[in-house]
């Protein structure tokens, strides 16, 4: 008891005596989410039954600031309700470190950040936090930022190993290294970003038994425009270099284009149209090149339908995708409602498995996403959604399953974000 009292007193004194020179705050996030899956990510298969579960994210965030030094520490636990017995002596997933970084501001323009951190840019199509996933996405990286007036240049670097080693060995846990440059500026109503990203994947060459690294480059621009009630954004990216497919050392030639147009008809109602193209490869193409675009670190759940049929841990190195969609948003007081219909088509040819001389229709299906959000109070929001997929014969060939089933998905999520304490004045 005496030791506990001394530790508590010391913490109070440190916070109290440093309150004028430093800031420290802590906040908590609890995010349970119920899901009903009946054709989520893929069409329901014959003999399969729908499932439901509750997953939960629990995070504890600490933010520190003192003159030129900033730091953040985030612990999290990700669980599915019931994945450990009620009388368990240990947690199945334990406590993970989501963020742990320190930043030093050399002056008003230059800063450097080291450690586990979120790398998120623009609309998160190429690099994002993936916040929908309970575990999120963060990188062990070094970041150098130059930020003069109306400009920002970020230079990021990472080198990974899956363990401390005595000898060189293949890194299987993640990419081996990463370098990127992101530049952002604005011109009146127009914002422009440029991105160059290089990612190296290590592998053991089957022919030479030598360790090799394939480097894939993603590069392009993101433009956003807003004036009065109209806003739009355009993203165009290319990919080159080499990437991993069935065999390594395979050259890449792929590209992406996405356009969104939105208009606010009233203060409460907004509507928009959009189109995305992710290049793919014809199924009868004998070229060894990878022609399918890979949104490598993107927050893919936010694109191409909330049912995650495309690019969320799946669908890579395939026939690509075209997505024509609309978005309708109505917001009033504490409520917000969204309706997003999608029409999906392939970007490359699909061969009919019953007759290899024929090509199938490029139409994959139609998905309708409905969501609603209610802000109960400042730190509590309740969000729910319902999605329906109307698949096609081509979807059955690519994703298996049965289009005739009632393929749908529903979810409800509560997000609670209370601040525990702060010393900020």
pLDDT digits (tens, 9 = 90+) for 151-177: 999 999 999 998 888 887 787 778 999
Q: What percent of the chain has pLDDT over 70?
A: 93
Phi-psi label, residue 302: left if phi above 0, alpha if psi -120 to 50, beta otherwise: alpha
DSSP string, 237-266: EEEEEEE-SSSSSEEB-EEEEEEEEEEESS
* 362 and 323 Cβ atoms separated by less than 8 Å: no
pLDDT digits (tens, 9 = 90+) for 362-393: 999 999 999 999 999 999 999 999 999 999 99
* Mean pLDDT (the chain, rounded): 92
Residue 33 has pLDDT above 60, yes or no: yes
Give 271's strand partners.
263, 328
Q: What is the pLDDT of residue 3?
A: 45
pLDDT digits (tens, 9 = 90+) for 109-144: 999 999 999 999 999 999 999 999 999 999 999 999
pLDDT digits (tens, 9 = 90+) for 280-297: 999 999 988 999 999 999
Residue 12 has pLDDT above 60, yes or no: no
pLDDT digits (tens, 9 = 90+) for 285-339: 998 899 999 999 999 999 999 999 999 989 988 999 999 999 999 999 999 999 9
* 307 and 372 Cβ atoms separated by less than 8 Å: no
Please compute the mean of the pLDDT values over residues 179-192 and round it to a whole number: 96
In the chain, the domains with their CATH numbers are 25-422 (2.40.160.100)
Residue 425 has pLDDT above 70, yes or no: no
């Amino acid at each position: 008891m005496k030791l506990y009292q001394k530790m508590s007193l010391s913490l109070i004194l440190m916070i109290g005596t440093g309150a004028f020179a430093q800031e420290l705050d802590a906040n908590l996030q609890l995010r349970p989410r119920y899901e009903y899956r009946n054709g989520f990510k893929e069409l329901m298969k014959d003999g399969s039954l729908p499932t439901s579960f509750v997953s939960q994210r629990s995070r504890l965030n600490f933010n520190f600031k003192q003159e030129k030094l900033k730091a953040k520490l985030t612990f999290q636990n990700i669980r599915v309700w019931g994945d450990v017995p009620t009388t368990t002596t240990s947690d199945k997933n334990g406590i993970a470190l989501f963020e742990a970084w320190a930043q030093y501001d050399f002056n008003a323009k230059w800063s450097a950040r080291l450690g586990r951190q979120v790398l998120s840019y623009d609309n998160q199509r190429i690099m994002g936090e993936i916040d929908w996933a309970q575990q999120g996405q963060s990188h062990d990286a070094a970041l150098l930022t130059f930020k003069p007036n109306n400009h920002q240049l970020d230079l990021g670097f990472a080198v990974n190993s899956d363990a401390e080693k005595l000898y060189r060995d293949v890194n299987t846990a993640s990419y081996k290294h990463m370098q990127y440059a992101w530049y952002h500026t604005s011109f009146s109503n127009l914002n422009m970003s440029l991105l160059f990203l290089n990612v190296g994947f290590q592998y053991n060459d089957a022919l030479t038994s030598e360790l090799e690294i394939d480097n894939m480059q993603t590069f392009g621009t993101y433009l956003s425009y807003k004036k009065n009630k109209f806003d739009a954004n355009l993203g165009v990216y290319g990919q080159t270099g080499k990437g991993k497919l069935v065999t390594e050392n395979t050259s890449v030639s792929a590209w992406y284009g996405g356009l969104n147009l939105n208009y606010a008809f009233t203060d409460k109602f907004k509507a928009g149209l959009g189109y995305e193209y992710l290049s793919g490869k014809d199924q009868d193409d004998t070229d060894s090149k990878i022609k399918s675009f890979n949104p490598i670190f993107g927050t893919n759940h936010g694109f191409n339908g909330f049912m995650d049929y495309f690019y969320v841990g799946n669908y890579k190195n395939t026939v690509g995708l075209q997505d024509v969609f609309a978005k309708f948003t109505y917001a009033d007081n504490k409520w917000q409602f969204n309706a997003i219909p999608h029409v999906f088509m392939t970007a490359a040819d699909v061969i009919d498995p019953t007759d290899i001389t024929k090509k199938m229709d490029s139409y994959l299906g139609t998905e309708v996403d409905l969501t609603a959000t209610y802000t109960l109070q400042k730190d509590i929001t309740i969000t729910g959604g319902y999605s329906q997929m109307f698949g096609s014969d081509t979807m059955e060939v690519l994703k298996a399953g049965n289009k005739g089933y009632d393929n749908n998905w529903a979810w409800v999520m509560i997000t609670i974000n209370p601040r525990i304490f702060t010393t900020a004045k």
